[in-house]
Every structure is written in structure tokens, then in C-alpha cells.
Structure 1
């Protein structure tokens, strides 16, 4: 079913207004008059060298962020200065949301803290991320408190974390806040290195077994992309999410896309923006993806109206 043409024109007009609000969009290299639509609900693209916003749509929309949460998990682990070569036991006992989550990693086996970090970032392994929290000074509860304290310190005022994996729909943030997180993570080269690896094999002990893991972002396998850091995420509530430090044209950029429709739409949005920034040519967005975006936008607006009405009750 094709999207009603009027709705497509409405999206184009709205996006043009958003683009005109940021004069930096038209900085060199020249950005064309025709604007690039994206399928994600909330997006932000920032030039790391100038600090200018090259593209944004609904950057302050508060939404679940799924496994993008694991970037904060990694930051808290490294801030604690815990030994990365220490072998830690796989443990999820303090996390209620993890009790029925299936994983290839066996409860009670051991791996190094660095390996747990790598699997959390590259393969989005939930047991690995939760294990990191369990082996934090003070345990799981202290770890979550540290996540929220770090968010506050970074000025992520519209963000909140309830656990380290992102499985909880109460792990929320905005594209603008996640740009702040990415800029902080950029100071930790190990996070970028581990998150952008194509694959990794890990040998566990007690019992001894080996498993191969692969990056959840297929762009790391493409020669046309230079990715310094990446994190994907998905839950039913969050949709598909993507955060990257990468290059688009001659620009070093930070990119955030939240709540995308379809398994590869967040990847496609990154590709559309890269083409637009590099060549000035826009690419179409599938009608079904825009229809999903319209539906979700209406749901967000309805929820916001309900919240305002509740606040208005004396």
C-alpha cells in the first residue's frame, strides 16, 4: 500500500522547516535544497570537528533506547578502574528482568572483564553486561546508581537507567542526550575499539568452552565505512536504534537514530545521510516506514497530551 502523497508532502515540508532552523546544515560542503527524509523517529548528526548540528529531527524526544544503554554500562565499568584481565563469574541473579532471558553464555562460567565488555558492546550480549554490573563495587544496585549519576554529570537531563542491558523500557534517553554520551565515550578509545570489531571468539572457563560472536552492526563489514564506535539496540518498545562515531564525506561525525521501523531501517538511514552529506543527493524512504513513523509520532503526541492533562489537574 502506498502512502498518501499528501502525507509525504507534509513530512517533507516539516523536515525542511527543521533543517532551516539550523544554518550549520548549509555549511561546506554544500547541502542541496532538496532535503533528506529519514525513517527513524528521532535523529541527530553532529560534526565532531566543529560541534555543529548537521541534521536533527525530534532530538529531544524521550524514548526507550534498548541496548544503546550498554555504552553507559561500559563507561561506568571503565570509570571504576577495575582490572580488565580479572576473570569474573557470569551472574544475573540480582537483575529481575534477566531471569528468563536466554543466552549462549552459561551461568557460573567465567570470562575476563574485558571480554565481558567486548561482548556487551560488539554482540550486545545481555548476560555479559549484567555480569559486569554484578561485579561492580556494591553490586547491581550500586552499578545502576552509578549509571544515573554519570548521566547527570554529563548533562543528560532527559535520560534514566534502570538496568545495564536496555531490556527495560524504562531505560530512556533522547538523541541529544546520546550525543553527549558519545562525546564522553570518545575519550575512552577501548570502547570504540571493542564496539567496532567485526567478530570475537571467547574461551570461557568452569566449564571450558569457546563461542564465536559477531557485531550487530553490519556496516563494520563494509569497506566504504570507517566506524570508530558503534552500538545498536532493539526492543519492541524502543524499535531499532543505532549510535555511531564515523565519517561521512570528509566529516568526522556522531550519529544517533532512535526507533526505526524494520530490521535494517536504522542502517538504511545512516546510509541515506552519508550519501546526502557526501554527494548532495537524497534517497527515498519506503512508504511503509514513513507510515510507521506517522503512527508512532501520533502515539507520542497523544501520550504527551495525556501527561499534560494529568499535570493540569489541581
Structure 2
């Protein structure tokens, strides 16, 4: 048997608040009976001898209890389980980077190679009606709910807009004007950008990704080589090339409910977008003042994802979206417990419900448990599921 130790516990060393722990209550003969609330991490913390790392202690506990830690379930300790507690010598004899042994059952794995365990997805409660979470390193689906339903995706569309524009290799420092003539969805939609004013293509892309500025996205399509119609055709061709079989675009902003996709398809789009360094950079920019000409004016723009301002998050790519037909939407490429993840969250109710779902996913990955979904968001979720026949 090979033992795998979840990398996620090392992140807990940084994120859990330090507090005094009571000594482990031994049953005698170096044994301990698990009580409610016990985790491998806090048991290891309480028995760690001087000079030993948490990695050594947790590995030693796993080695000492092969029948308990099976199939990576190191995050689940059942109340009443009796553990054999390793002696100090057993713990300190282990190396953090693994030791050699002829015994398959006593060979600790190199920590960098160990696969993190996944918590029980049934214990995760979300406001989003359609959702998917994947580990990009292994392509493991950690969570999926209505992930193949074809639904409006609002401004998540702008990630495809960005990729198509960058694929054209047009000069990023070229000054282009704000144009919306062909995007009829923008009629009577408020924007601070003045029609005809001029800014660099790069700043137009920044506004599109960071602030979800609809006139900026429309302008990128209007100034595309081949024109607006060719741009929309390129969006759909790119989707097909990526294997996004449930996706279709009719315009570049996401204001149309006819821009549709599925949570599963959007994991493919996020993976593709992450290959563009500029998309990662611009989508995670917190804020910027942008100066326009013809006429001259300056506007401040901010990221639509408030988690960008939260330094406890490690976000490499993000895009938000909202129209009434799509609900609140969010996609992110992030890193939790040294695990690269794509989150796709579609159709939730409440201004911060999508952000709340991202935090619920993080809490679930770190603890195995979910936090509460607000009542109004939960009721919306249930109504939508009923409409879907679920």
C-alpha cells in the first residue's frame, strides 16, 4: 500500500489561528481515541516532539495507522477511532523529503509528489445554480453541479473577447476609438466612456477584463482585422477549437442572453485564457487611472472582483459577470493549499453571492465543511433547480 499525505494541511499551518491545545488524552499503551472535532493536523500538533516538523508528525501518524488512512481520507477522522500514537523516535526518524525502505507499507512519500485528498462534495453548499471546480494539475473534478446546463454567461464572455483580440496580434499601443455602432445590446446602457474618444488598445483590453467595461469590449471587436462580424465568427471558431461544444456567442460584451455556455465548457475557456500572460495580468489588476484623448479626460477603474483586494487570496485570473438572465457569475484561476484550481460559478442571487461561493469553496477545501448560504440566495437556487426539474 502506498500512503498519500494531503498537501492541503501545510496551508493550514499558515491560515489557522494559533491557540493553546490540550494534551492528547491517551488510552494507555500509546493509543488515542478520536473525539468530535479532531483532525489529523491538531492531533499532530499536540504530540509533536521538540525538533520535529508537522510534516514528520503527520506522516508518522499515518504510517502507524495504515488501516485508518486509506484512499487519501486523511481529512476525515471518525469519532471513536483508536489511533496508535507514534513514539518520538519514530517521528524524528522520518525525513520531510521521504526515506528509503524495502517495506512498501512503511515508505513515506516525497511530499512534493503527494496528492491532496478531496473533501466530500456533498458537504459543500453553494448559492450558484451551475458550478464546477477542477484541479488543473490533475484535471480532477472536485465539485460539479448542473455543469452541463447551457445558460447565459454574461460578461464571462469577455475572456473569449480578449483571446480573440490577442490572437489577431494587433498593436497593443495603437490608439483606437470607442465605438459601439454594431453592438445593439449597448443601446441605452450607461457607460462613462465617451463615444469617439481615443485610448490605446491595451487600455481598452484592461477596461474590458478588469472593470468589465462594455463599450471597451465592443470597441475591440469594432477595430478587429476583418471587422465586427469576423470578430464574432472568430469567437465561435475559438470555442469550437477548444472543445466548447455547448457554447455560442452573438456579441463581445455578454449583455445578450444569447451568449451561452456551460460550467464545464467554461473550465476549458479559463484554462485557455490562462495561457495568455496579458489576460492574467490585466484581469487581476486592482485599479488604474486611464487617460483618454479626443476629448481629453481621465477615469479611474477598479476590479469587479473584490477578492483581488484580499491579500489572503492567490488569484491568477478572474472574470465576473451579471445580467438578469444569467445571475451573478464568476470564474477564477486560483491557488488554494498549493493546489491550482479553476472555479466556475454561474447564476446566483445577491450582489456578493458569487464571491461568497468562492469563499465557501475555499473553506470547504481547507476544512471539509461548508459555510451557510444566505436565505434569499438559497431560495433563488431552489427555485431555479425546480425550474430545471432538479
Q: State the TM-score, normalizing by the size of structure 2.
A: 0.69
Relative to structure 1, the CA distance from residue 92 to residue 268 in structure 2 (aligned partners, 3 Å threshold; closer, same or farther) is same
Structure 1 residue 102: Cα displacement? 1.5
**Higher helix residue share:** 1
- What is residue 185 of structure 2 aligned with on the other side? 97
Structure 1 residue 31: Cα displacement? 1.7
Give yes or no for the alignment of 1:88 onto 2:176: yes
Give yes or no for the alignment of 1:120 onto 2:213: no
Give yes or no for the alignment of 1:140 onto 2:228: yes
Q: What root-mean-square deviation, in Å, do the aligned CA atoms of Structure 1 and Structure 2 show?
A: 1.8
Alignment partners' CA distance in 1, 2:170 and 2:144: 37
- What is residue 292 of structure 1 aligned with on the other side? 380
287-296 or 200-209: which moved more?
287-296
Name the SS of the counterpart of 2:147 in structure 1.
coil
Name the SS of the counterpart of 1:301 in structure 2.
coil
Give yes or no for the alignment of 1:238 onto 2:326: yes
Equivalenced residue count is 280
Structure 1 residue 101: Cα displacement? 1.6
Offset from partner CA, 1:256-285 (integer Å, 9 cap, x none)? 000011111110010011011012232111
Residue number among 271, 277, 283 corresponding to 1:183 in the alignment: 271
* Match runs of 1:1-314 below 5 Å: 28-29=116-117, 31=119, 35-301=123-389
Unaligned runs of 5+ in 1: 1-22, 303-314
Structure 1 residue 300: Cα displacement? 2.9
Bigger relative contact order (CA 8 A; separation at least 6): 1
Equivalent pair of 2:132/2:343 in contact (CA under 8 Å) = yes
Q: Which one has a bigger Cα radius of gyration?
A: 2
Alignment partners' CA distance in 1, 2:379 and 2:355: 18
Relative to structure 1, the CA distance from residue 48 to residue 165 in structure 2 (aligned partners, 3 Å threshold; closer, same or farther) is same
Alignment partners' CA distance in 1, 2:234 and 2:221: 10
Structure 1 residue 301: Cα displacement? 3.4
Equivalent pair of 2:72/2:117 in contact (CA under 8 Å) = no
- What is residue 9 of structure 1 aligned with on the other side? none
Structure 1 residue 298: Cα displacement? 2.1
Relative to structure 1, the CA distance from residue 113 to residue 24 in structure 2 (aligned partners, 3 Å threshold; closer, same or farther) is farther
Unaligned runs of 5+ in 2: 1-70, 76-114
Q: State the TM-score, normalizing by the size of structure 1.
A: 0.86
Equivalent pair of 2:118/2:142 in contact (CA under 8 Å) = no
Alignment partners' CA distance in 2, 1:240 and 1:257: 8
Structure 1 residue 288: Cα displacement? 2.2
